[in-house]
Amino acid sequence: MALAAPQARAQGLPGGALKMLVGYAPGGGTDVIARLIADKLRDHSGLSVLVENKPGASGILAPAAMKGAPTDGSVILLTPGVSTIEQIATRKSMPFDLNTDLLPVTLAGTVATVYAVSSAINASTLAEYVAWLKKNPKGASFGTAAMGSTTHFFGVELGQALGIVLEPVPYKGTGPLLNDIMAVHIPAGCGGVTSFLQHHRSGKVKILAVSGTKRPTAAPDLPTVAELGYPKLTSEGFYSFYLPAKTSPAIVAAWNAKLVEVLALPDLRKRLVEIGLEVQTSTPAELTDRQNRALVAFTASMKAAGYTPE
């Protein structure tokens, strides 16, 4: 730890303890990803990075807190697009402006949305699920931990593609949703692959479709919606890093270089891939372009699902 300050300064970053803000509670997917990266920054670079959780309000409290954060590089944000892009599209007002309050640093990786069913129902494929629904029309519902998000719209649009009205049921978190799927209180659910993959592997739920452009590296048995005949439903979420506005270009460049370096380490990539994150880094400009394109695509999905901003 005594070497952390001089090493950090040599890398163009401030010395002392650095903070990585996360807009979700400890133990969730975003928190796990943040802590794996923070630990590797410490072990590989001698940087003292502490993860600080600011849960609530669909993850927007952490990005909002960046508005008043120091601009010396001592505070950095890791957030999924669900807390930025998706909130911008579905809320009439926001406590921060993505374009003026945050500076893009790098992409951390992409993540797919999955549609899964309880292992207790007789369906292991999407076709079998459709057949099951025809015999059990009262079961045409799915749970989502975030109304007004990809995990809501993907389920609705999948139902539209199948010619079946699938009703979304809101949950306060992925944990309660998974418990209800496993107990067959609800037959199906929609969420990030990072939340569902472990339960799929254990046989407690069955993932029927993945929204990503390719099969997950950690689960090559899972078919994409394009393979199943619905390429228009293809989409990807993403995790990315941001610094406060007015941070100097030199500090942005230093954080970008360090994160790109650490995320390329084989052991960290392996751990992140195992939980469903497809590790991918970028320049700040590439991240800006991605978030602009994501906003257009998500807004189209929102309209297709018939959702009105609140």
> What are the pLDDT digits (tens) for 285-302?
999 999 999 999 999 988
Mean pLDDT of 57-85: 93
Residue 7 pLDDT: 55
DSSP 223: P
pTM: 0.84
Q: Of 54-63, 179-188, 217-226, 240-249, which gets the smallest average pLDDT? A: 54-63
The verdict on domain 4-110+237-304 having CATH code 3.40.190.150 is yes
Residue 1 has pLDDT above 60, yes or no: no
Residue with tokens 């209800």: 180
Find how far residue 221's CA is from the centre of its chain.
21
Q: Does domain 113-233 have CATH number 3.40.190.10?
A: yes
Dihedral angle over CA of 102, 106, 109, 115, nearest 10: 20
Identify the CA nearest to 279 among candidates 295, 267, 296.
267
- Residue ranges per structural domain of the chain: 4-110+237-304, 113-233
- What does the pLDDT average to over 181-198? 92
Find, among 2, 153, 15, 166, the residue nearest to 86 by Cα.
153
CB atoms under 10 Å from CB of 48, counted, come to 18
Question: Do the domains spanning 4-110+237-304 and 113-233 agree at the CATH topology level?
Answer: yes
Task: Count how many Cα atoms sit within 13 Å of the Cα of residue 43 in the half-sphere of its side chain.
Answer: 11
In this model, does residue 6 exceed pLDDT 50? no
Confidence of residue 2 (pLDDT cuts 50, 70, 90): very low
**Is the pLDDT score of 57 beyond 90?**
no
**DSSP β-ladder status, 205-210 and 113-118:** antiparallel
